[in-house]
Amino acid sequence: MPDILQVHDKYFVPYLSQEEIIEKVKALAYQINHDYKGKRPLFISILNGSFIFSADLFKFITVEAEICFIKLASYKGTRSSGQIITAIGLDTDLTGRDIIIVEDIIDTGKTINQFLPQVFNQQPASLKIAVLLHKPEATVFPVKIDYTCFTIPDKFVVGYGLDYNGLGRNLAQLYQLKED
């Protein structure tokens, strides 16, 4: 494990080890197994960032469960509607389902806030949000997060699925932007 890692033009230092991450992910899965006993939740994994987190989490789920993967694409709408988010690949009927949204990180909270109405519109039986990372200092659009692995400071991180301009997703652990 390098002490300093370069991704594009920036330098990163080791932050959370693979062992620390897996331990938290496992604990979160146990909590979900407990909370969803006798139910059949549908996990909605938001790509790209959450692909590793979702896979690791899902392996520890022991209740009957389904998973689907979607991508959120944002484009500029009219001036009044502002930015619009569309969910690509959301082809499962969510009506009456127990939904667990799986996200890599809640930063400003904007992305998830714009997506949630599309889920509520389909009238699920319940809706919870599970995140690997939450940066409360950066969150300006309030989100009710039900399951969090790590609450972290407002510093950029890469690894374990998260990228910096496309790179770094394959790093097995999390790295944090190095202070100058």
Minimum CB distance to ligand IMP smaller for 98 or for 107: 107
Give the pairing of strands 83-88 and 66-76: antiparallel
Does 110 contact ligand IMP by CB under 6 A?
Answer: yes
Q: How far is the CB of 92 from Mg ion (least distance, A)?
A: 20
Minimum CB distance to ligand IMP smaller for 36 or for 46: 46
Cis status of the peptide bond prior to 165, with omega within 30 of 0: no
Does 109 contact Mg ion by CB under 5 A?
Answer: no
Q: Which of Mg ion, ligand IMP, none does 156 bind, CB closer than 5 to 8 A by kind? A: ligand IMP
CA distance 165 to 158: 10
Does 104 contact ligand IMP by CB under 6 A?
Answer: yes
Does 159 contact Mg ion by CB under 5 A?
Answer: no
Does 49 contact Mg ion by CB under 5 A?
Answer: yes
Q: What distances in angstroms separate CA 143 from CA 17, 44, 85, 116, one per listed residue?
A: 27, 17, 16, 10
Q: Choose the catalytic residue: 56, 98, 104, 107.
A: 107
Instruction: Examine the residue annotation and report whether 107 is marked as an active-site residue of this protein.
Output: yes
The contact set with Mg ion (CB under 5 A) reads: 49, 104
- Interacting residues with ligand IMP (CB under 6 A): 49, 103-111, 156-158, 162
Give the catalytic positions in this structure.
107
